[in-house]
Structure 1
Amino acid sequence: MTAAPGPSAPIGNPAVTRSATASRRRWSLRARLLAWSVTLVAVVCTVVGVVTTVALQSYLYKQLDGSVRGVAGRATHLPPDVGHSGPGPDLSAPTPAQVLGFVTGGGQAPGTLGAILDLKGQVIDGQFSAATQSRDLTGIPFNGAQRAALSGLALDGTPRTVDIPGLGDYRIMRVVSEDGVPLVVGQPAKDVQNTVRKLIVITICVTAGGLVAAGLAGAVTTRYALRPLRRVAATATRVSELRLDRGEVALHDRVPVSDTDPRTEVGQVGAALNRLLGHVGSALEARHASETQVRQFVADASHELRTPLASIRGYAELTRRGGEPIGPDTRHALGRIESEAKRMTTLVEDLLLLARLDAGRPLSYEALDLSPLVVDAVSDARAAGPGHRWRLDLPDDPVLVRADPARLHQVLANLLANARTHTPPDTTVTARVSRHPRGALLEVLDNGPGIPATLLPYVFERFARGEVSRSRTAGSTGLGLAIAHAVVTAHGGRITAESVPGRTVFRVLLPGTADTAAADTAPAESVSAGARPDSQAGDRLTTRS
C-alpha cells in the first residue's frame, strides 16, 4: 500500500506553482530583458566552451594515441643484437630486461611504461620510466596493484584509458612483439588532462567576465532603450491621477511626438495611447456638456415649478378656508392637494439646491462653533420626532469650523431626519461633536435596525431607497443624504456611513480653523435631548465616558 505524500511533498502543489508564477510576474520588463540577455550570453558561452573543450580533448588524445602507437612500434621490434649469442643463426630467447628496454630507451618521455604478459593476460614483469637528477631515464618496476590494473586487457590494438594506482590515467595499448611475446605499452595522460583542465578554468573565467560585462552593458542598454516607454507610462500616470468622474476635465496630456513612431513597438503603444486619450477627452467633453445641460434643465425646471406649486397650495388652502360650504370628500381632497403640493415643493427645493451645488455656487463661509448648531438641530428634531430619544454629546470647549451656517444646519437636519424617518419609535439618536487632527468631527448615531448591506455603498446617491427596515414612511424624497454629501464636499470635508444591526453612524469630517487645530482635546459633557446652553431646569447633564 502506497502512502500518501505528506505536507513536505511539493509535487503538484498549486500554491507553490502560483507563488512561482507570481514571483515571475513581479519582475519588471527591464529585469526580464536583462535576465534573458545574460542567460543567452551564458548559454552561448557554455556551448562554445563545451564544444572547444571536447574538440581540444579529442585532438590531444589523438596525438597521445599516436605517441602510444610509436612506443608500441619500438616495443615490438627488438634491436638486431638482442638474443644473439654470436655469429650465426642460433638465437636465444630475449630476457625481460631486453624486451622492456624500450621503456628507458632513447626518445622516450618520462612515464612511459611497458609490461610483459603471459598467455592468460597476466603481467609477468613490467616497469615505467622516471627521470633522474641527471635527466637520464631509469626503470621502476610495478607493484602488485599496478600489475593487477594492467592484467586482463583485450588484444585489439586500440588505445584505451586505464587508471593505474600511484601513476594516474594512462593511455594503454596491448601488442605482440616479433617473437610473439604479449606486451602492454602506454604513456601518461597527465599532460592532456592538465591542458583540458586549464582550458576549462579559462573558459569559466572568461564566461564569468563576459556575463558581468553583458549584465552591465545590458543594464545600460535596456535603461536607454526603455526611456520612451517610461515617458509613455509617465503620461498614463498623470492622466490616471486626474479626477474624471465629475466636472469639466481638461485632458491635455499626450505622449510626445518623438515617442509615437509607428516603426517601433514603443511608438505604436504611444500612438495608441494618444488616440485613446483623444477619444476619452471627447467623451468627457460630451459628458460634461450633457451634465451641464441636465443641471441647467433641473435648475430652470425647479425654479419655474416653485411658483405654480406655491399657487396650488395657496388656492387649495383658500378654498378649504372659504366661507362656502364644502363636503367632507372635497375637504379631504383639498387636504391631500396641500400635502402633496408641500411634498413636491420640498422635492423641487432639494433639486434646485443640488443643481446649485453642482454648478459650484459659492458658499458663505464664516467661523462657526458646532455645539450651538447641533443643539438647535437636535431641538428641532425632538419637536418633529417626540417618539425617539434624542441625546447630545458635546465638548466643553468650542469646536470651530469654517463653514456656511445655513448649509451646515441643513446637513445636520437631513442626518437627524434620516434617523427619525427610518428608525422605529423609542430609538436613541445621538449627535456627537469632537475634535479631530484634521479639523472637527460630527457624528449622528442611532441604535435602529441599520442600513441594508446592499444599500450602504449607494446611500449617498440621489433617490436611493432603503428596504422595509428603513423605508420611506414620512414622505422622504431620497435626496436628504445626497444633499448632505454635496454640502460637505463643497466645504472640503468628507461624510461616511457605517451600519450594522443596532448601530448606524454617519460621520462628517470638516476642516477646522487655526483655533481648532491649536486647541487641546478636553473632557466633554452629554446633554439630553432638546437641551440648549441656556436649557430649562428640567434638562439633565451627564458626563461623557
Structure 2
Amino acid sequence: MRSIRGRLTLSLSLVVVVIVLGFAAIGAVAVPSILLNRDTDRLTAAGDRVLTSLRLSGGVTIDLDVLQNFVANDIGVVLLAGDEAVATSGLPAEDVAEIVAEAGPEISRASSPYLTERIDVEGLGLAYADNGRSSEVTAVVLGMRSAPRDITTTLVVTALVVVALATTSALIAVAAIVVGRGLRPLADMANRAERIAGGDRTLRLPVDESGDPAIARMANTVNTAFDAQEDAENRVRAFVADASHELRTPLTAAHGWIELYLRGGLRDEKQRDAAMLRVARQLQRLGELTDELALLARTDAGRPLLSEQVDLGTVARDVVADARIVHPARSIDIVVTGEPKVLGDGARLAQVVRNLVGNALQHTDGDVEVDVVAGDARHTIRVRDSGSGIPSEALPHIFERFWRGDSARSASGGSGLGLAIVQALVEAHDGTIRVTSVTGEGTTFEVSLAAHTPQREASGA
C-alpha cells in the first residue's frame, strides 16, 4: 500500500495532468479553428473590397498589378473570361485550373491547399488587355494559401505541448515538495507517538499553532488523550497501592494474632477469646473493604443497576431510623417534602443515603439533618451537619478513593471509599452530587436525581 504522501502526490499530479493537458488539448483544437476563421474573414473582406471597387470603376480595363496590391500580397487573383483564365497573379500556374474549378460564390477550401472565393463581375463592362488582345472579364477568383496557417498552427500546438509538459513536470515537483512539507508535522507526530508508545510518557506531540489548524487541533486532542491516559494510569497505580495497603492492614493484624497464638503466647483462655475477637474484627473489615472494592469495580465497568420505582422519602426515613438506634445520643432530624419517587436500585440508593449520614455521624460531633425535597423534574437529598466543616483545600479531594480528611473531620479509621462509592452510585443513576462547606458552620452534601412520574409515563405510552 502506498504511503499517504505517495497517494496525495499521485492524486495532485493526476489533477495537474488532467487540467494542464486538458487546456493544452483545448488550445490545440481551438487554434486551427481560430486561424481558419481569421483567414476566412480576411478573404471575405478582400472579396468585398474587390467587388465594391470594380462596381465603382465599371467599364475600365483592369490593371492586374493594381488589383493584386489592392487585395493583399498573400491573396492570389485569377481573372476569368467565361470559364477561361485570362490572367493570374500571386498563384502558381499549375494550381490555377484546380482553384478555378473549386471556387464558388461562398468561400470554400479546395482540394488543393487554398481557400477560394469567386466574385461575379459580369455586366460591369470590365476588360483585361494583354499583348494587344482584350478580353471581357466576367469573374474574379481569389485564392489564399493555407500553408502559412498550417505552419502557424504547428508552431502554436507544439509550443502548447511543450509548455504543458514543462508546466506539468514543474507542478508535479511542486506538489511533491508541498505535500512533503505539509505532512512533515504528521511524520514528527508519528515519531513522537512511537516514542510515547515505547514507554516515554513524559513526551507529547509537537503542536505548531502557526501551521495547519486541523493538524494543530489533532495534536492538541491527542495530547489531551495522552494526558487523560497518564492521569488514569496514575490513578490506577495509586488505587492499587492504596487498596493493597488497606487490605494488608487487617491481614497483617489478623496474621499477627494468629502467629502469637501458634507460638504459645496466648495461654490464657480470656486472651485467646480476645485475640479471636480481634481477628474476627479484622476479617470483617477485610470483607467490608472487599465488598466496597467490588462495588466500585462494578460501577466502573458500567454494569446495569436495578430499575424499579423507589420512594426516596421511605429510603431516607429507614436510614435515619437505623442511625438513631446506633447513635441514640445524636440528634438526627429528617424532613420529607412531597413524593420524591425515582427509577433506580433501591438498595444502592439506600447505601448512598446511609454513607452520607454515616459520614456525617462519624466525622462530626454536631447535629445531622436530612432533607428530601420532591421537584417537578428532579428530586433532591440534602444531608447537613453542624460540625467544624471541611477546609476549602480539601473539598476537591473528598470523592477521591482512599482519601481521608484531616483531623478537623475527626477521621476514625474509615476505608476512604464511602464518598467515592456515593459518587459512583449517584452517577450510575444519572444523578449529580455536590458538596458545600463553611469552616466552623458545617457541611452539606446534595444529591440530585431525575424524577419519575408513573402517571405521565402511562399516558405517554
**What TM-score, normalized to structure 1?**
0.39
Whichever structure has more helix as a proportion of its residues is 2
**What TM-score, normalized to structure 2?**
0.45
